[in-house]
Amino acid sequence: MPIECEGTPRDLGLDQGRACADALRMRFEDADGKPVSYGAMQGKPSIVRLDQKDPGTVVLEGGETLFFPALPAGPYRIGVHSPHYAPVEQDVDVVAGEKNEATVKLRAPAKLKVLFTAPERLVVRFRIRRDGRILPAFPVGATEAGTQATGLQPLIAHGSQGAVFTGLDAGPVTIDVTDPTLSAEAKTVDLREGETTEVEIEVRKR
């Protein structure tokens, strides 16, 4: 008989219709080794099976820990994006018949302040990229993962103080304008853990 999964399921976009299997519990702690509640992270989880097999229905429960009550045995990469920490990824091998556990170390997020200047008021849409990938980021003050930037975040140029985005990892990022009616040079800056890096970009109509 299939195992019944307890708790409220949240769909992670994976295929449906598979029975439950073995549990995985992920705990989080800060740089000082102090426990961090998963619920307080206000994060958005992702899960990928590394051997390309179909994991079927994936159920998770959030609380003090991130708990998967049932996963088919195999290798996984589990990630969490949060407005309060740098993004994390953890590779885990789920072993059949065992209570699998993993502890994830969290780091301070890098922040990026973006300011567009223009001779007139313009609505500017842009994206934050690294190695060709659009990076998810949270406007400072976001209270939940649903407010993540999607890569087409609008800002006002001319008279604006710009906006600060958090939940980013340290390293180089490129900011470029996506509106084909506007002319702006893409800029690359190096983000640092726990610090705010500022970038100013001049925008004009074509």
Return the minimum-mean-pLDDT range out of 104-113, 114-123, 132-141, 146-155: 146-155
CA angle 42, 195, 175 (to 5 degrees): 85
Determine which helix (DSSP H) or strand (DSSP E) holds 105, and give its type and residue range. strand 100-105
pLDDT at residue 145, as a whole number: 42
Question: On the CB side of 139, how many CA atoms lie within 13 Å of its CA?
Answer: 13
The residue among 161 and 78 whose pLDDT is bigger is: 78
- Cβ distance 60 to 76 under 8 Å? no
What digits encode the pLDDT tens for the residues 19-52?
345 789 999 999 899 999 998 898 888 888 999 8
Asked whether the predicted pLDDT for residue 139 surpasses 90, the reply is no
Task: Tell which residue, 96, 61, 58, 99, has the closest CA to residue 77.
Answer: 58
Radius of gyration in angstroms for the set of CA atoms belonging to the chain, rounded to a whole number:
20
Give one DSSP letter per residue of 74-88, joined into a string. Answer: EEEEEEEEETTEEEE
What digits encode the pLDDT tens for the residues 143-188?
444 445 444 456 777 667 888 999 999 999 999 998 899 999 999 9
- Who contacts 81 (Cβ-Cβ below 8 Å, separation ≥6)? 43, 44, 46, 87, 136, 138, 145, 148, 167
| Strongest mean pLDDT among 1-10, 161-170, 189-198 | 189-198
Other C-beta atoms closer than 10 Å to the C-beta of 25 total: 16
Determine which helix (DSSP H) or strand (DSSP E) holds 67, and give its type and residue range. strand 66-71
Number of H helices, E strands in the chain: 1, 19
